[in-house]
Amino acid sequence: MFKLSELKKKISKRDPLSHKGQNGRVLIVGGSIDYHGAAIFAALGALNSGVDLVYMAVPECNFDVSRNYAPDFIVRKYPGEFLTSRAQEIVLALAKKVDTVVFGPGLGDKPETLRAIKYLVEHIDAQTILDASAIQVLDLLDKMPLKQPLVITPHHGEFEKLTGKPFKISDPKDHKIRIIRTLANDLKINILLKGPLSIVAGDDGRVDQNETGNAGMTVGGSGDVLAGLIGGLMGQGLSPFDACSSGVFVLGRAAEKLYKLKGFAYTASDLAAEIPFIVKDILE
Residue 33 CB burial class (10 angstroms; 0-12, 13-18, ≥19): middle
Give the per-residue pLDDT at 15: 80
The fold of the 21-283 domain, in CATH, is: UDP-N-acetylmuramoyl-L-alanine:D-glutamate ligase (3.40.1190)
Read off the pLDDT of residues 27-50 as tens digits, 9 standing for 90 and up.
999 999 999 999 999 999 999 999
Contacts of 66 (CB under 8 A, 6+ apart): 31, 36, 39, 40, 43, 56, 58, 73, 75
Give the per-residue pLDDT at 236: 92
Q: Low-confidence residues of the chain, pLDDT below 70? A: 1-4, 6-7, 10-12
The DSSP element (H or E) to which 209 belongs, if any, is strand 207-210
Give the per-residue pLDDT at 8: 75
Q: Give the count of alpha carbons within 13 A of 137, CB side only.
A: 30
Give the per-residue pLDDT at 2: 57
Domain ranges for the chain, please list them: 21-283
User: Is the peptide bond preceding residue 172 cis, with omega within 30 degrees of 0?
Assistant: no
Read off the pLDDT of residues 185-229 as tens digits, 9 standing for 90 and up.
999 999 999 999 999 999 999 999 999 999 999 999 999 999 999
At 194 the three-state DSSP class reads: strand
Give the per-residue pLDDT at 14: 79
